Chains A and B, each alone.
Chain A
């Protein structure tokens, strides 16, 4: 009863809220979360806040070092690359592909994967179980290798890279969801709800889904860092984002030639990738810890 507030001034926190409280108490994960949040905002606003277009070349400012060095110029905060393109603009626009796209990919893959996994896990007549077992075999292949194979079939290009990475992530979601749903399905509280006469959709969304959120959240963070790595790696190999478009992985690949002349063109995208992936892993790890702490008490 939400309207009865006789003696209780605080609302009773739900178990998921308790996990959030435990998460909030720790410093490193909160910093990481803020980092990811601001990165997301930067990436969304990138076309508005970039000082220059990502591909415009300044002939008089080729390989200019970052502004805080002796030779630097405040006009180009992070310097320019060997073609005279502004590094800051390229990094921000590149973030759309390196950070924004993986989020979209993970949303796509998780929607499909969780849906199929839930169906397979809830299936009691073992009709769909064969499908689940078959897809499990795909887990023996590393997801990046799977993506490479798919690229080899589909051909290089951004669109194909997105399709390949999405497809290679789906089996993991199916696996995690199926196992979680299957385990919950055996438990007494699901049986009790079933004996309440609940419909299957209610059972799935209101009864089981809140109870498997922990494993899903963990899988989401893992998949996000994998997707970032994969898309950067594919672009590094020249199979993902194509040349004039900036992307952290392809920027790294391009800077290999002049790493001794202009080290910043390699260090900056490298650091961006490093910070992003570390932040995601820290958030994921602390979530796991917070959930475990909640379960133990």
Chain B
């Protein structure tokens, strides 16, 4: 029985810019192993600089790991295999403003992955773009829009459309919900959950909001200074006694009511 995604001892070290060639490399991520099943949601949590972004970038193929292996459906996935990776693992970025090309229309940007990964005539491409736009709650006419004509929530929807247009198995969302205001965030979360139900996508979500994690995650992976200190089902992490750091991370909103994120949980769980 092979897992959808299995990471074995992934790690990443790098030498800071302007450092001496012989100086010690700093460690962004210590050897990390985890598995992900089809249709499940994995949340990666941790404080700033804990390596959660690095881990998600390695999975999505933005950065090459220094060592370790990644298996997709039991087959080894190399960093260089960009075709196979981008057909199965897609990424949604934190800032939709920056992750969309301002000079191309939404349609042109959605066509891009199709041009390079699917062998289909342009009429079929248009149809697929239309249906994908409708799937994420936009209209077919939005294909002719430029990103600066859309609202932040709509842009994030376009980014999600770009991620799901190739019918991937895994979508990596790196802080994709942070820049949104609470109501839009709730909309996007519900959209993501609907898509998961319809298409059977697995999500890897990087976030530091415990409410969202409790709401959507099946498993939680917690990093502390590049080291994985917990990887377990959400239920068990929440109910069983944990180390203080994990407790603090998971119950942050209960101790600090003044946080803006505190408001969103009510809407999310509606």
Contacts and interface: CB of A to CB of B under 8 A. Distances in A.
B98 A197 contact: no
B101 A193 contact: yes
Given A14-B105, A211-B101, 4 more contacts: A188-B99, A195-B91, A196-B86, A196-B113
Interface string B70-110: 00000000000011001100110111001111111101000
Interface size class of chain A, counting residues whose CB lies under 8 Å from the partner chain: 20 to 34
Given A6-B141, A198-B116, A12 B99 contact: no
Given A196-B113, A198-B112, A12 B107 contact: no
Secondary structure of the B contact surface, majority rule = helix
B145 interface: yes
A199 B107 CA distance: 19
Contact of A1 (B62, B101, B103, B141): B141
B130 interface: yes
A194 to B, nearest CB: 8
Contacts of A196: 86, 112-113, 116-117, 162
A51 interface: no
Contacts of A16: 103
B117 A197 contact: yes
Which of B100, B107, B117, B146 is most buried by chain A, counting CB atoms within 10 A of its CB?
B146
Nearest to A11: B144
Contact of A197 (B62, B83, B94, B104): B83
A8 B140 CA distance: 13
Counting from the closest, the 7 A-B pairs by CB-CB distance are A210-B103, A188-B99, A196-B113, A188-B98, A197-B116, A197-B86, A189-B101
A7 interface: yes
A261 B91 CA distance: 76
Nearest to A211: B103
B70 to A, nearest CB: 15
B60 interface: yes
B86 A1 contact: no
A279 B50 CA distance: 55
Contacts of A211: 101-103
A130 interface: no
30 contacts: A1-B126, A1-B129, A1-B141, A1-B144, A2-B144, A4-B143, A6-B141, A12-B149, A14-B103, A14-B146, A15-B102, A15-B148, A16-B103, A188-B93, A188-B95, A188-B98, A189-B98, A189-B101, A192-B100, A195-B90, A195-B91, A196-B113, A196-B117, A197-B113, A198-B112, A202-B115, A207-B101, A207-B104, A210-B101, A211-B102
